[in-house]
Structure 1
Amino acid sequence: MSRADLSKNPDEVSGMFSKVAKGYDRTNALMSFGNDALWRVATQKAVDPKPGERILDIAAGTGTSSASFARTGATVIAADFSPGMIEEGRRRHPEIEFVEADATKLPFGDDEFDAVTISFGLRNVEHPEVALAEMYRVLKPGGRLVICEFSTPPLAIMRLGYDIYMKRFAPTIARLASSNPEAYLYLRESIEEWPDQGTLSGMIRGVGFTRVAYRNLTGGVVALHRGRKPVDPAVRASAARRRASRQRAGTES
């Protein structure tokens, strides 16, 4: 299996990322023309890690962002469901704790983390709303959620240019730079199918987060979404009832 498809079978997606782990960061830098570094800086500022805080970095890959968070004095857990990514991450960053974990079934207790972040990983989850609910669960009241993900440029001219780049030029770069260029066909397809900024914001609110907002990066090619787990117990209880109602509706449909 060289690539996953849009069914996003967890084993297939995990295996695909394991195969590209060693060259993953280099290929991303080339395909984004170095913008990946700017996106990491923006994410770091949004997470705002502080000494003594516990940060969960989901879909951490090789741990590049996790290591940056840890340099602030925060305790960082780097979680990923790809064994190959975790192996490469541990080799590069032995000072970071890596955990193999499915975002829809996080192996952590309730209210454990001051911040939870995921960069370019939510799009690869089979059931993203379940993953968002898990992120909500493991956050402390008042905790911060930061999601950095590919999105939809609001300007038509930007959307057109981005579409041309992804269809005509990105595959060539992937063939030259990646050990598994077919995996980057999945990248394009998954971006095309991913909801826009407003829809993702609604999903984040839907699991109970408040203070939900986003800002576009690189003309909306990427969007940085933020939210907070409410401190007020009554607000959290109301969110829990809404989640339970949606789960019942999904079971009955």
Structure 2
Amino acid sequence: MSKTIFITGASKGFGKIWAKALLEQGNKVAATARNLAALKDLTGAYGNSVLPIELDVNDHDACFAAVKQAKEHFGSIDVLINNAGYGLFGTIEETTEQEARDQIETNVFGLLWVTQAIIPIMREQGYGHIIQVSSVLGVVSPPVLGLYNASKFAVEAISESLSAEVKGFGINVTIIEPNTFGTDWSGASAVHTKANPVYDELKKAFFGSLTEDAIGIPEATREAILKLIDSKNPPLRLTLGKVAYPWIKQVYEQRLATWEEWKDVSAKAHGK
């Protein structure tokens, strides 16, 4: 059955790949991008099945207007894929105030505004599926990407609360947690802090640990997304790639061991 999907950040990477996959399956897509020229290939190939919308998710009012436009054009919105965002590379000390604010503004508030805009539509319909693109770095937090990690931890928290708040309205929420893929996320789309040489060895070790085999092929995610959207009982969380789950499992085992080791101290702190 054909669905209508609203996708942010559809100009490249996962957003463009998933938009094409959904259109190939006969769905309708409201595709947003900061530059509409980046969507010409979609409109050229799929015609009226695509509604291109110019959108900077940092603009609160524009987010609400874009969602309204899509609803008025297609009549309904079955699925939201909040994909817009970028990576900020740099240590905590290196990160400027503006860089930190910009990262949170786009990755957290941009996602929040579009989510808030879509909820009343889906609530009125009595159904819907909100898909939030987080990251494995929204669950584990390695060095050199601290502010990006923080933005995705926030996405995880917002979306988990949201899932409980809207479940009674027939709205499902899924948090997607990809490991590293060969998209433009770490390339031209990324922002880098001004380097402090005292962290050169740390960065060398961190980036050197990322092997070619650990980087997923973006196009290989198409099947997972199509299956997720067609699922009658979608999961709250879905990792993408073969690295994410083992890494999360290892980190949580370490966390549980630490909490267990200090549980007596924790209990005594309760006071009664």
Does the pair score TM above 0.5? no
TM-score with structure 2 setting the length: 0.41
- Structure whose residues are more often strand by fraction: 1
TM-score with structure 1 setting the length: 0.44
**Structure number with bigger Rg:** 2
